[in-house]
Amino acid sequence: MTQLLHCPQLSLCSYTEEAHVASVTQAGVAPDHFYGTTIYPTDVFIAGEWLRVKNQRMDAAIALNYTPTLSAECKLLRDLEVGDLVVVGEEGIRIPDKTTANPPDREFSFMSSGVSSERQVRLIVERLANDLLTYRESGWKVVITAGPVVIHTGGGDALATLIRQGYVQALLGGNAIAVHDIEQALFGTSLGVDMQQGINVRGGHRHHLQAINCIRRCGTIERAVDQGILNHGVMYECVKQGIPFALAGSIRDDGPLPDTITDTVVAQQEYARLLHGADMILMLSSMLHSIGVGNMTPAGVQIVCVDINPAVVTKLCDRGSVESLGVVTDVGLFLNLLVQQLTQQTVPKLTQISG
């Protein structure tokens, strides 16, 4: 984490040096000593004034734009073009006090950050439900990252319900969650196990391949919905509710589904596009996709990370920011409890407890 210029009393700084810049001379390559960005809101001192950097994210360079007016934005190395002006060194950069990162009107009512499996998940669910109701009412943006464990542990219906009822504005995942959701919708099984009876179905180990083949025949998930072939589940609800989703390809994919974005650079762009403006991210049992999302997400976005493995939760919540909450629990039970709570709790409660 950077130690640069955490300067709460800016008025005391009588003189500020201009940020140094250098030109990009080779596409996709930054100048030496380029400044690598963090998740924290950052200002650069250019032409005698502090500019707030746009599209804040980790591990980018800061590029200046002079048209239409002077501005600064985070730009990935691979996106740098010849002639771009990039900030180098550490002069003229400040990270305002982190406590201002979290706008007061989106105060999150959770107990203080941290990770523990020995904690009352029911309490957390109750407050998350309250926040989701408030967010929906206020038109704030909630993005979910989810892995196939959500389906295997019986959380698929609950996730579909959250989408149907308008609590989710975008879904990010990989090929696998969509395959297993569609397997469940078409065959009633998850990895060949009957989801109602918990027993292996004869020939069931091929269901996920048949699900992939079915969607490939239709052309896309959307067309499978339109043709009435796919008629419930998580992906169905995304199509029906018009909730955008991005499925990022990986080396372990079967198929893949035609919707899966096999180029990971394109997938990152699509993830970033869908994450833009997010107020809350729920990370549900998917370390790979959640790390990807974490890299793109500035401080100030509420993050709730649910996984049964404490090491995953610790890794994802270790952002040096106060807005992430880790919950070590069974994600299937968690989602079912959340939907149950939302059903009971039609209006958000007044929150008496500060974070």
CB of 45 to its own copies, least distance (A): 20
CB of 342 to its own copies, least distance (A): 16
Return the residues of window 206-245 that contact its own copies according to CB under 8 A: 206, 209-210, 212-213, 216-217
Q: Does 298 bind its own copies (CB under 8 A)?
A: no
Q: Does 252 bind its own copies (CB under 8 A)?
A: yes
Q: Which of 233, 271, 316, 339 binds its own copies (CB under 8 A)?
A: 271
Instruction: Tell me the CA distances in angstroms from 238 to 86, 167, 171, 268, 279, one per residue in order.
Output: 39, 12, 8, 20, 19
Question: 21 Cβ partners below 8 Å, 6+ apart?
Answer: 46, 64, 85, 86, 87, 88
CA distance 12 to 14: 6
Q: Does 309 bind its own copies (CB under 8 A)?
A: yes
User: Which lies closer to its own copies via its Cβ, residue 121 or residue 305?
Assistant: 121
CB of 208 to its own copies, least distance (A): 8
Is residue 351 within 8 Å of residue 145, measured between CB atoms?
A: no
Cis upstream peptide for 348 (omega within 30°):
no
CA distance 13 to 205: 66
Q: Which of 95, 159, 225, 248 binds its own copies (CB under 8 A)?
A: 248
Return the residues of window 144-173 that contact its own copies according to CB under 8 A: 149, 152-154
User: Which lies closer to its own copies via its Cβ, residue 79 or residue 240?
Assistant: 79
Q: Does 277 bind its own copies (CB under 8 A)?
A: no
Return the residues of window 94-133 that contact its own copies according to CB under 8 A: 111, 117-124, 127
User: Which lies closer to its own copies via its Cβ, residue 13 or residue 29?
Assistant: 29
Q: Which of 253, 322, 345, 348 binds its own copies (CB under 8 A)?
A: 253
Is residue 222 within 8 Å of residue 239, measured between CB atoms?
A: yes
Count CA atoms closer than 13 A to 33's CA, side-chain side.
8
- Range in contact with its own copies (rule: CB under 8 A) among 5-13, 132-140, 274-282, 331-339: 331-339
302-307 and 280-284 beta bridge pairing: parallel
User: Which lies closer to its own copies via its Cβ, residue 70 or residue 299?
Assistant: 299
Q: Which of 16, 71, 113, 262 binds its own copies (CB under 8 A)?
A: 262
Cis upstream peptide for 8 (omega within 30°):
no
- Range in contact with its own copies (rule: CB under 8 A) among 14-22, 62-70, 128-136, 201-209: 201-209
Return the residues of window 33-92 that contact its own copies according to CB under 8 A: 34, 36, 59, 77-78
CA distance 9 to 277: 29
Is residue 315 within 8 Å of residue 336, measured between CB atoms?
A: no
Q: What is the per-residue DSSP string for 113-139?
A: SB--SSS-HHHHHHHHHHHHHHHHHHT
CA distance 141 to 131: 12
CB of 100 to its own copies, least distance (A): 22
Q: Which of 48, 198, 228, 242 binds its own copies (CB under 8 A)?
A: 198
Q: Which of 130, 161, 329, 341 binds its own copies (CB under 8 A)?
A: 329
Q: Does 199 bind its own copies (CB under 8 A)?
A: yes
Q: Does 195 bind its own copies (CB under 8 A)?
A: yes
Instruction: Tell me the CA distances in angstroms from 103 to 40, 261, 353, one per residue in order.
Output: 13, 34, 17
Is residue 201 within 8 Å of residue 194, measured between CB atoms?
A: yes
CB of 214 to its own copies, least distance (A): 9
245-248 and 280-284 beta bridge pairing: unpaired
CB of 346 to its own copies, least distance (A): 21
Residue with tokens 């083949």: 213
